[in-house]
Amino acid sequence: MNTFLRVSRSMLCRPGNFASLSTTSGCQESEPRQYIPRRAVLYVPGNDDRKLQKIPSLSADCIVLDCEDGVALSKKQEARSKIRHVLESQEIDFSGKDCSVRVNSVESGLCEEDLREVLSASHLPDTLHLPKVDSPQHLDWFADHLKSLLGSHKPVEPLRLVIFTESATSLLELPAICHRGRELSTNAPFVLDAVVFGSDDFCADIGATRTNEARELLYARQYVVTVAKAFKLQAIDLVYIDYKDLDGLKVQSEEGAGMGFTGKQVIHPGQISVVQTAFSPRPEKVEWARGLIQAFEEHQQQGKGAFTYRGHMIDMPLLLQARNILQMDAVTSK
Ligand code: COA
Ligand code: MG
C-alpha cells in the first residue's frame, strides 16, 4: 500500500474559498486549503480506554489522542500502542472531527518512538500536535523524521501540524519558528496550521503564579495571537483547568475569542459546548455582517466608497471582519 487513508478527513471537506479567512494557514496563500475549525480542542489520554471509547459521543471539533503530559511516563508505551490500534482498527468513529495525536516533544527523547508507532498505522490521523517547540531546529528535526519514517508511504494530503509555544525561549523564537514552519510546509509531509499556547508549562518556566483570571498571561496570550495571525495560522488559547467552573470558563473563553484566538484547549467533556459557543460567531454578529456586505455592494454599484452603516462609518477592515464572520459561520454552523 502506497498511500495512507485518513481517519476522518473526508468528513471535514467543506466547500468554499477560505483564502481570506484570517485563520487559514499561510504556507501557500495562493492555494486556498480546506479550513478545519478547531474551536474546542479536547485531550484524551491515549492510555485510557474508558475515555477513548467516549470519543464518538463527544462533539469537540478536534480530538487529541495524547502521548504527552496527560500520560504518565510509565504508560507511554501503552498509550502509543492503544493510539495505533485506534487509528488502525477504525473501531472508534471520528466522523466530522479533526483526529490528532499529540506526540512528546523533540527534546524529550520520546518523540521518535511515538512517531514510529503512530505512523505505522494504515490510517493516519489528520493532524499531529507537537509540544514544546523552542526553536526552528525542532521543526527541522520533526520534518526529517516524519519524512524518513513515512518513507514511500506518502499521505494523500499532508498532515496538518499544530505546534505548542510554552516557554519564554519559545515565545521569543516564535516568529522564527512560524517562519520555518511555513518554509517547511512547502515540501515536508506537513502543513503548519496552528499555534497552541501552553500556559501551564509557560507559567512554570517564567515563575508566574497561575490564576483563573490569567492576568499574569495577558502579554503572552496577546503576543501568541499576534504572531500566529501574522503567519495566518490558527491561535489556540490556554486550558481552563478548574473544569467544574463553567462560569469562569465562559468568561475566559469569551475573553480569548475577543482577543483573536480561534479556539481553546479543553480537558473535560463538560467544557466543550461552552467553548464552542464562545468561539462561534453570534447570530446577531452574523446578521450584522450580512447586512454590511450587502450595503457595501449596493454602495459600490452606485460608485460610492465610504458609507455609513447602522450609525458607523464603514472602512475596509470592517468589511474584511464581516467577511471573516460569515466564513467562520459557514464552517462552524454545519
Ligand atoms: N476525554 C474523554 N472522556 C473524558 C475526558 C476526556 N478528556 N474526561 C472525562 N471524560 C469522561 C469520563 O471518563 C467520565 O465518563 P464515565 O462516567 O463513563 O466514566 C465522564 O467523562 C465524566 O468525567 P468525570 O468523572 O467528571 O471526570 P474524571 O474524574 O473521569 O476525569 C480528569 C477528570 C481531569 C482526570 C479528566 O477529565 C482528564 O483526564 N482530562 C484530560 C487531562 C489531560 O489530558 N491533561 C493534559 C492536557 S492539558
Ligand atoms: Mg504543556
Cα(304)–Cα(296) distance, rounded to whole angstroms?
A: 9
Which ligand lies nearest the alpha carbon of 202?
2
- Give me the active site residues, please: 315
Work out the average pLDDT over 20-40. Answer: 60
What fold characterizes domain 40-278?
Answer: TIM Barrel (3.20.20)
| pLDDT score of 105 more than 70 | yes
| pLDDT score of 253 more than 90 | yes
| Predicted structure pTM score | 0.90
- How do residues 211-241 score in pLDDT, each as one tens digit? 999 999 999 999 999 999 999 999 999 999 9
In this prediction, residue 324 carries a pLDDT of 87
| Ligand 1 within 6 A of CB of 129 | no
In this prediction, residue 5 carries a pLDDT of 67
- For residue 195, what are the contacts with CB-CB under 8 A and spacing of at least 6? 162, 163, 164, 165, 174, 178, 224, 227, 228, 233, 234, 235, 236
| Ligand 1 within 6 A of CB of 239 | yes
Split at pLDDT 50, 70, 90, the class of 306 is confident
Task: For a ligand 1 pocket test, name from 49, 52, 54 the mutation site with the most ligand atoms within 8 angstroms of its C-beta.
Answer: 54
Work out the average pLDDT over 263-271. Answer: 98
| pLDDT score of 129 more than 70 | yes
In the chain, where the domains are located: 3-30+283-332, 40-278
Q: E strands of the chain, at which residues? A: 3-6, 40-45, 62-66, 98-102, 123-124, 127-130, 154-155, 159-165, 190-197, 234-237, 263-266, 307-309, 312-314
Q: Which residue has the cell 480569548?
A: 256
CA of 69 to the centre of ligand 2 (A): 7
Lowest mean pLDDT among 19-23, 168-172, 202-206: 19-23
Pair 214, 252: CB distance under 8 Å? yes
Amino acid at 156: V
| Ligand 1 within 6 A of CB of 197 | no
| pLDDT score of 25 more than 70 | no
**DSSP designation for 17:** -
